[in-house]
Structure 1
């Protein structure tokens, strides 16, 4: 049955939800507080990552976070602050950072990534788009034996999950990147991964959706959500009231703020990431993560992108020059002879990733509102999981069997979390 559907948020998740919902014949409207030309969906590394099977909430992350808290240029930086939402999120993160959580999460993360990769390919083959998508795999380059051992342990876990992974020497890496002089000891190679150019895909998707009749209301922040009993009836923007049959909440980090208006607990923190784009030729052809520095390197259409860091410092778009410079320094350390131009550093941009406490996204319905579907909390995998999330949302709204089981992605999985031991 055709429905009127409002999607709150026009990032990669919201656009992919719109893509599959309009395919099902629904009338879709997207509302976004921005003009949908910047943010995490535009500045990410463009990775499709079945290799990234370990959630952010993993053993050892608390210790690393405390260690790196003293270093504002570290790969993972937490800005301590006495805010109730942040302290609750931190408490839930600590409880989730266990081996049990990792073991439970690995098959789910792998499955949804593989689903998404195939859906991107389907989009590319549809004839509706002409976007950049390559499957060349991913190199995890390391400079120390300790890091190499840790990365290979990750690789062996991926092999157990059926992914093809190789432990490469420096000379073997050279065969994949013959024009690059690496300062590394070796690399772990994941055949499963692909990469894209987000700034190429996003405008194409927006233009396609408009052509298909999807309505866009941009630069319109939502001030209120109106509900009656078990149904949302309308959203109030800065300019208008919009009614619909179904609502999708995919507003990234801002989803938790809007969820509060509906009395829904949706723990999220903004994980800020930065990118530097270099338009000059670098010779880099392989997507690569510089393991010790946690910097992602992506050969995109017309430029090379260097992206990284996870900064938990609240919702803001302030550029920290130290963190940007750390990305540039790491790149120059791993690639002998590479020099990141000063104008590229000066033009660095950032985006906010919505991070859940356990490292898994929120995808599904809520017990309170029968016509609300939530799709957020994807952290560093938002780009990778866009199509899969959109497909699953369309299946939920259409009351169809879902392409995969949604256990672990429940929207209200922290609803019964007890904070009595947390002093705020």
Structure 2
């Protein structure tokens, strides 16, 4: 049965939800508070990462964050501030960072990422978006120290056990794989299972397609309230008007928790700010990489190379700390000594807020309290990678069909 669906949020998750809902015959409206040309869905590393099997909430992360708290240039930065929601989230994060919980999360993360990788291929093969970059060159985990190698080797062994394609490269093998750029690293673990895209290419193409097939897109329109009656959302009120729908999807990224509180729903969520710098000059880099000791990502995209990284918890703002952008430039040069990111490129650094749940797993599913509300948020650093599969799951939930995988681990009502 066709339904009228309002999607709050126009990032990768919102657009992919609209894509699959429209294909099933639903009438879809997307409402976004921005003009949908910036934010996390545009400035991320573009990774499709079955290899990212370990959630952000893992043993030692809180201690690392506290240690780095007073260094605003550190890769994992938590700005000291009085914020009850942040304190509560931090406590839940701490409770989630156990070996047992991480072990339970790993196979789930692997499964959902592999499904999403297949759905990226489905979108590409459909021709709906025309041509866009979708490559499967894998991901290099570059390391300088034995400590970093041993840390990643442990993850690689788990990934291999789960059936993902992984190999180890020494310096000579690395040079053969990346012959056009000097790399200062002892070696790499190569996750051949991974792929990558160009977000600034994919997002406009998806928007154009959705408009062509009749999806209504409301830009620069902020949701100010939700009216509830009889355990249903009756009306979505925005800065420009009021809307009714059979179903509502909350895919507002880092702002999802704030919107949920308007209807007395507790959705522990924090915005984790990431930075990226684009270098349009040739760099010689052809394979995506994570520079382990620098805690940053590098992606060869369509027309430029993107250097991205950092996780900054400092509230819902788009303030750019220059020292963090400079740290990315220095980290890149440390591993690629012939690559110099200049002052102008640093000055043009962009940021985006990634919605981070306390346990590093997304919120995907219906609310137990409101019968016509579906959550699709909280993906942390996997938002881009999991966009298509989240959209597919949302369409199955709203279509009252069995989901392509068990989503109990993603329940928005789970306890921490």
TM-score, normalised on structure 1?
A: 0.97
In 1, distance between residues paired with 2:346 and 2:72? 17
In 2, distance between residues paired with 1:70 and 1:102? 27
- Equivalent positions of 1:336-351 (< 5 A) are 336-351=337-352
Q: Is the 8 A contact 2:270 2:355 kept in 1?
A: yes
- Equivalent positions of 1:239-254 (< 5 A) are 239-254=240-255
In 2, distance between residues paired with 1:128 and 1:16? 12
Q: Deviations over 1:155-178 (max 9, x none)?
A: 111111111111211111111101
Tell me the residue number matched to 1:372.
373
Tell me the residue number matched to 1:62.
62
Q: What secondary structure, in the 3-state scheme, does the structure 1 residue paired with 2:25 have?
A: coil
- The structural deviation recorded for 1:392 is 0.2
In 2, distance between residues paired with 1:388 and 1:127? 18
In 2, distance between residues paired with 1:177 and 1:44? 23
Tell me the residue number matched to 2:95.
95
Q: Deviations over 1:180-222 (max 9, x none)?
A: 1111111110011000000000000000000000001110101
Q: 170-179 vs 86-95, which deviates more?
A: 170-179
Unaligned runs of 5+ residues in structure 1 are 418-424
Tell me the residue number matched to 1:422.
none
Q: Deviations over 1:299-320 (max 9, x none)?
A: 0000000000000111110000
Tell me the residue number matched to 1:136.
137
Tell me the matched-pair count.
415
Does 2:193 match 1:203? no
Runs of 4+ in 1 over 6 A off after TM superposition: none
Does 2:310 match 1:282? no
Q: What secondary structure, in the 3-state scheme, does the structure 1 residue paired with 2:267 have?
A: coil
- The structural deviation recorded for 1:341 is 2.1
Tell me the residue number matched to 1:176.
177
- Equivalent positions of 1:21-420 (< 5 A) are 21-129=21-129, 130-414=131-415
Q: What secondary structure, in the 3-state scheme, does the structure 1 residue paired with 2:410 have?
A: coil
- The structural deviation recorded for 1:70 is 2.6
In 1, distance between residues paired with 2:198 and 2:361? 24
In 2, distance between residues paired with 1:270 and 1:404? 27
What's the RMSD between the two structures over aligned residues?
0.7
TM-score, normalised on structure 2?
A: 0.99
Q: What secondary structure, in the 3-state scheme, does the structure 2 residue paired with 1:118 have?
A: helix
Q: Deviations over 1:228-255 (max 9, x none)?
A: 0111111001110001000000000110
Q: What secondary structure, in the 3-state scheme, does the structure 1 residue paired with 2:311 have?
A: strand
Q: Is the 8 A contact 2:70 2:79 kept in 1?
A: no
Q: Deviations over 1:40-60 (max 9, x none)?
A: 000000000000000000011
Unaligned runs of 5+ residues in structure 2 are none
- The structural deviation recorded for 1:104 is 0.5
In 1, distance between residues paired with 2:97 and 2:330? 30
